[in-house]
Amino acid sequence: MTLREMAAALELTIVSDTAALDQPLAGGYVSDLLSHVMGQAKAGQVWVTMQGHQNIVAVASLVGLGAVIVTSGVEPEEQTVNKAIEQEVALCMTKLPTYEVAGRLYQLDTAGK
């Protein structure tokens, strides 16, 4: 599944449009602890978090994540969006709670297998 397909299925708002929209994604990872994401998430995964500060972009870039979804109606800070555009990190947001996004993401991921 690509980010473009996932965004349509989960009704995500894409806030940093990148060339990565049509790249395949490799599962998901859910955490709000940045050090945990750095140590456990895998390149190509979609990271689901409710944090909106610019450090999420640095972590996503470092790990090589396919996208970041900010949940629960949290709006990423302007610096976060600018940094995501600059570093070509796909950044999305949704009003849905983290739990629901994780469940839907899991269903979408396993439906194609």
Strand 46-49 to strand 67-70: parallel, antiparallel, or no bridges (unpaired)? parallel
- Domains of the chain by residue range: 3-111
45 vs 48: CA distance, rounded Å? 10
Read off the pLDDT of residues 68-111 as tens digits, 9 standing for 90 and up. 999 999 999 999 999 999 999 999 999 999 999 999 999 987 55
| 3-111 maps to CATH 3.40.50.1700 | no
Closest CA relative to residue 101, chosen from 113, 90, 109: 109
> Can you give the pTM of this predicted structure?
0.93
23 vs 75: CA distance, rounded Å? 24
User: Do 35 and 51 form a contact (C-beta atoms < 8 A)?
Assistant: no
| CA dihedral sign of residues 90, 93, 56, 78 | positive
* Residue 36: CB atoms within 10 Å: 12
Read off the pLDDT of residues 45-58 as tens digits, 9 standing for 90 and up. 999 999 999 999 99
